[in-house]
Amino acid sequence: MRMKLKAMAGIAALALAAAMPHALAPEPAQAAVDTQLLPGVADLVDKLLPTVVEISVQSTNPNAAAGGGGQPDMNPFKDFFDEFLKRKQQQGDDQTKPDDKAKPNDDQASPDKKDDKPADNNLVNSMGSGFIIDPKGLIVTNNHVIADAVNIQVHLQDGTMMKAELVGHDPKTDIAVIRVKPDHDLPAATFGDSEKVRIGQWAIAIGNPFGLGGSVSLGIISARGRDINQGPYDDYFQTDAAINKGNSGGPLFDLQGNVVGVNTAIFSPSGGSVGIGFSVPANEAKNVAEQLIKYGETRRGWLGVKLQTLTPDVAEGLGVDKSKGALVADITAGGPAEKSGLKPGDVIESFDGHDVKDNRSLQRMVAQTDVGKSVDVVVQRDGKEVALKIELGRLEEGEKIVAAQDKPAAPSAPVAPQQVLGMTVSDISDDLRKRFNIEAKVKGVVVTDVSSDGVAADKGIAGGDVIEEVAGTTVLAAADVLAAVDDATKAGKNTVMMLIAHGGSDDDKRYVALKLKK
């Protein structure tokens, strides 16, 4: 189980109760209080337990721990659990060896052991959880549970142990699918609709904490949309249902018995549950799992843009009424966005019929949309709404295109530096490109110095930054910057927008709104 270890400061509150004198006690009729019993889940758990499995892994990952995470283990019962894990692993090794009961074509006990590697002192034993999604033996778990695995074993609720093979894995969402080959249909869990999950509703976590197996805990959904900096598509549920190391990959159920999340990480300063766990929403996990099963890899939609957070001052500079949406900072040459007419400075407000809240929501929408689908996109441009039609490419191919676009810029003759809005700006020369380590494909006007008391310094602009656009116009010379700022001032604008390549990096562009002198 992944953990995020932080120093925490807590305030302990003591609730003191004093006995009320008998004379002041209310009458029984007045003391009637409505009560609500906790839900009984025993019958439901009986049905769900067989769908959840324990997963034992031998891997080459030196950071592997029980259920992943790789963090220091501060558990006072560490020695006990380490010995427990060794016994469980040994049981799996013993039960997957050929015996006289094995059938000739039994994949669980095949006499052909060429793929079985002898025990290696460099291999690390770890355990996690998973759940069956297909009676024929398909199982969902976390990517970090099976990372670098050379041997994966699945332990069913009835004690059966089977060797598993990897179907596919996705580090970006931490979802993986493995397969076992049983001789009969297995009980399978059903995905629910995580969009309908509400904060405060009951949730049941079942998994394999510390290798104990078949453990059930009850809690609620504490929050939605958590970003814990684990990947580009973070949108976790938070739950206080107890999950610990080893619960990774296990399901989070609702009270109808549907999987609403895949338990993936915990926040813990001690190594154990403190009531803050995180689960991948079922809709995302299901989408990734289906792709892994069908293709053995993910096939995500690709728009071909770089995005920037739309802050209130940037929204004002762009003439956008509200700071809601995703601001396009750059367009990938040859990508779907460029072909459709999308431009830097556009604010994407709607994608495929869904409102765009911010960059993260747009990234998830695009990633979950089928490759090749033609989607409707609505943007704000120059104070007007513009409707576009964009046929999505494939992210995995787009990443290769972006990596290949690194062409050297043509050398330019140096000119005299210019002063504007607290900055000294110059045309990019070979010497300046080398001095500030400006990437070859970045074109524009380089900032060579910034006044500490100017408006540029207030916005974090520094020497080595490259101005690529001013007020929506591409600039290639220092004189272009001065002219654009002068035009904005004469037009009575309060701010002027500049597109900045921070530190001369093509991968770190942002719009900056600079106030004009009046």
Counting the structural domains of the chain, the total is 4
pLDDT of residue 315: 79
Domain boundary among 278, 295, 312: 295
Reported confidence tier of residue 85, pLDDT bands at 50, 70, 90 = low
pLDDT of residue 284: 94
Looking at the structure, tell me whether residues 150 and 208 fall in a common domain: no
Reported confidence tier of residue 86, pLDDT bands at 50, 70, 90 = low
Pairing of strands 190-191, 258-267: parallel
Catalytic residue (choose from 129, 155, 174, 234): 174
**DSSP annotation string for 300-354:** -EE--EEEE---HHHHHHHT-SSS-SEEEEEE-TTSHHHHHT--TT-EEEEETTE
Mean pLDDT (the chain) is 80
Looking at the structure, tell me whether residues 64 and 173 fall in a common domain: yes
Question: Among 159-163, 173-177, 428-432, where is mean pLDDT lowest?
Answer: 428-432
Is residue 33 domain-resident?
no
Reported confidence tier of residue 58, pLDDT bands at 50, 70, 90 = very high
pLDDT of residue 301: 92
- Can you tell me the distance from the alpha carbon of 389 to that of 339, in angstroms, rounded to the nearest whole number? 10
Assign 198 to helix, strand or coil.
coil
Mean per-residue pLDDT, 380-394: 90
pLDDT tens for each residue of 339-360: 999 988 899 999 999 999 888 8
Looking at the structure, tell me whether residues 389 and 500 fall in a common domain: no
Is residue 424 domain-resident?
yes
Looking at the structure, tell me whether residues 288 and 323 fall in a common domain: no
Is residue 357 domain-resident?
yes
pLDDT tens for each residue of 90-130: 555 554 443 433 333 333 333 333 344 444 567 888 899 99
Catalytic residue (choose from 126, 217, 248, 279): 248
Is residue 21 domain-resident?
no
Looking at the structure, tell me whether residues 241 and 167 fall in a common domain: no
DSSP H or E stretch at residue 42: helix 42-48
pLDDT tens for each residue of 135-144: 999 999 999 9
Domain boundary among 354, 379, 404: 404
What range does the domain containing 65 cover?
A: 50-98+117-179
Q: Is 234 assigned a catalytic role?
A: no
Is residue 62 domain-resident?
yes
**pTM for this predicted structure:** 0.66
pLDDT of residue 212: 87
219 or 111, greater pLDDT: 219
Domain boundary among 295, 312, 346: 295
**Both tokens of residue 105?**
């074509």
Is residue 41 domain-resident?
no
Is residue 448 domain-resident?
yes
pLDDT of residue 483: 85
Looking at the structure, tell me whether residues 175 and 220 fall in a common domain: no
- Can you tell me the distance from the alpha carbon of 501 to that of 329, in angstroms, rounded to the nearest whole number? 10
pLDDT of residue 233: 86
pLDDT of residue 92: 52
Whether 222 and 198 have beta carbons less than 8 Å apart is answered as: no
- Can you tell me the distance from the alpha carbon of 4 to that of 13, in angstroms, rounded to the nearest whole number? 25
- CATH code, domain carrying 336: 2.30.42.10
Is residue 413 domain-resident?
no
* Unique residue bearing structure tokens 């290696």: 120
Mean per-residue pLDDT, 19-41: 56
Reported confidence tier of residue 33, pLDDT bands at 50, 70, 90 = low
What count of other Cβ atoms lies within 10 Å of the Cβ of residue 131? Answer: 23
Reported confidence tier of residue 272, pLDDT bands at 50, 70, 90 = confident
Q: Is 144 assigned a catalytic role?
A: yes
205 has pLDDT over 80? yes
What count of other Cβ atoms lies within 10 Å of the Cβ of residue 156? Answer: 18
pLDDT of residue 115: 41
Mean per-residue pLDDT, 410-437: 79
pLDDT of residue 81: 45
Q: What is the DSSP letter of 51?
A: G
Residue type for 512, please? V
- Gyration radius (Cα) of the chain, Å: 29
* Unique residue bearing structure tokens 């930054």: 465
pLDDT of residue 7: 35
Looking at the structure, tell me whether residues 327 and 273 fall in a common domain: no
Q: Is 502 assigned a catalytic role?
A: no
Looking at the structure, tell me whether residues 305 and 400 fall in a common domain: yes
Q: Is the dihedral of CA 237, 295, 160, 246 positive or negative?
A: negative
pLDDT of residue 67: 46
Mean per-residue pLDDT, 381-398: 90
Looking at the structure, tell me whether residues 481 and 458 fall in a common domain: yes
Looking at the structure, tell me whether residues 397 and 458 fall in a common domain: no
- Can you tell me the distance from the alpha carbon of 512 to that of 327, in angstroms, rounded to the nearest whole number? 12
Looking at the structure, tell me whether residues 399 and 452 fall in a common domain: no
Whether 259 and 189 have beta carbons less than 8 Å apart is answered as: yes
- CATH code, domain carrying 260: 2.40.10.10
Whether 119 and 111 have beta carbons less than 8 Å apart is answered as: no
Looking at the structure, tell me whether residues 322 and 279 fall in a common domain: no
Assign 458 to helix, strand or coil.
helix
Tell the burial category of 417 from Cβ atoms under 10 Å away from its Cβ (0-12, 13-18, 19+): middle
pLDDT of residue 128: 95
**Both tokens of residue 473?**
């116009």
